[in-house]
Amino acid sequence: MVRAIVGANWGDEGKGKITDMLAKESDIIIRFQGGSNAGHTIINNYGKFALHLLPSGVFYNHTTSIIGNGVALNIPYLLKEIKELESKGVPTPKILVSDRAQILMPYHILLDTYEEARLAGKSFGSTKSGIAPFYSDKYAKIGFQVSELFDEDYLKEKVERVCEIKNVLLEHLYQKETLVPEEVFQTLIEYREMVKPYVCDVSAYLHEAIKEGKNILLEGQLGSLKDPDHGIYPMVTSSSTLAAYGAIGAGIPPYEIKNITTVVKAYSSAVGAGAFVSEIFNEEADELRKRGGDGGEFGATTGRPRRMGWFDAVATRYGCRVQGATEVALTVLDVLGYLKEIPMCVGYEIDGKVTKDFPTTVQLEKAKPVWKVMPGWNCEIRGIKSYEELPKECKDYIDEIEKEIGVPITLVSNGPERDAIIKRK
Among the residue ranges 11-19, 74-82, 277-285, 370-378, the one whose residues contact ligand GDP (CB under 6 A) = 11-19
- Helix (H) or strand (E) segment spanning residue 397: helix 392-405
Taking the least distance from each CB to ligand GDP, the nearer of 36 and 414 is 414
Is-contact 34 51, C-beta < 8 A? no
Q: Which residues contact 101 (CB under 8 A, 6 or more apart)?
A: 67, 68, 69, 70, 71, 73, 145, 146
How many residues in total does the chain contain? 425
Check binding of 17 to ligand GDP (CB under 6 A): yes
C-alpha to C-alpha distance for 289 and 268, rounded to whole angstroms: 10
Q: How far is the CB of 206 from ligand GDP (least distance, A)?
A: 23
Does position 210 bind ligand GDP by CB under 6 A?
no
**Residue nearer to ligand GDP on the CB measure, 256 or 402:** 402
**Residue 40 catalytic?**
yes
Residue 13 in contact with ligand GDP, rule: CB under 6 A:
yes
Query: Is 43 a binder of ligand GDP (CB under 6 A)?
Result: yes
- Helix and strand tally (H, E) in the chain? 12, 20
Question: CB of 231: closest distance to ligand GDP in angstroms?
Answer: 15
Under rule CB under 6 A, which residues in 326-385 are in contact with ligand GDP? 331-332, 334-335
Angle value at C-alpha 116, between 111 and 122, nearest 5 degrees: 150
Measure the CA–CA gap between 206 and 250, rounded to whole angstroms: 8
Q: What whole-number distance in Å separates Cα of residue 142 and Cα of residue 184?
A: 14
Q: Which of 6, 8, 15, 149 binds ligand GDP (CB under 6 A)?
A: 15
Sequence-separated (6 or more) residues with CB below 8 Å from residue 305: 289, 297, 298, 299
Nearest distance, CB of residue 412 and ligand GDP, angstroms: 8
Report the alpha-carbon distance of residue 263 to residue 261 in Å, rounded.
6
> Active site residue: 20, 40, 52, 99, which one?
40
Build a one-symbol-per-residue string for 272-301: x at contacts with ligand GDP by CB under 6 A, - elsewhere: ---------------------xx-----x-
Q: Determine if 102 is a binding residue for ligand GDP (CB under 6 A).
A: no
In terms of DSSP bridges, do strands 28-31 and 47-51 run parallel, antiparallel, or are they unpaired? Answer: unpaired
4, 252 contact by CB (below 8 A) = no
The answer to whether 387 and 359 are in contact (CB under 8 A) is no
Asked if 11 interacts with ligand GDP (CB under 6 A), we say yes
Binding flag, residue 319, ligand GDP (CB under 6 A)? no
Q: Which stretch binds ligand GDP (CB under 6 A): 4-12, 88-96, 179-187, 248-256?
A: 4-12
Taking CB under 6 A as the rule, which mask of x and - marks residues 387-416 in contact with ligand GDP? --------------------------xxxx
For ligand GDP, the closer of residues 176 and 304 by Cβ is 304
Among 16, 70, 319, 343, binds ligand GDP (CB under 6 A): 16
Helix (H, G, I), strand (E, B) or coil at 346: strand
C-beta atoms surrounding 372 within 10 Å:
15
| Main-chain dihedrals φ then ψ at residue 422, nearest 5 degrees | -115, 125
Task: Give the nearest distance from C-beta 11 to ligand GDP in angstroms.
Answer: 6
Of the candidate spans 33-41, 248-256, 353-361, 403-411, the one that interacts with ligand GDP by CB under 6 A turns out to be 33-41
- 4, 7, 133, 144: residue in contact with ligand GDP (rule CB under 6 A): 7
Compute the CA torsion angle 406, 408, 413, 419 (nearest 10 deg): -160
12 catalytic per annotation: yes
Q: Which residues are catalytic?
A: 12, 40
Binding site for ligand GDP (CB under 6 A): 7, 11-17, 38-41, 43, 293-294, 300, 331-332, 334-335, 413-416, 420
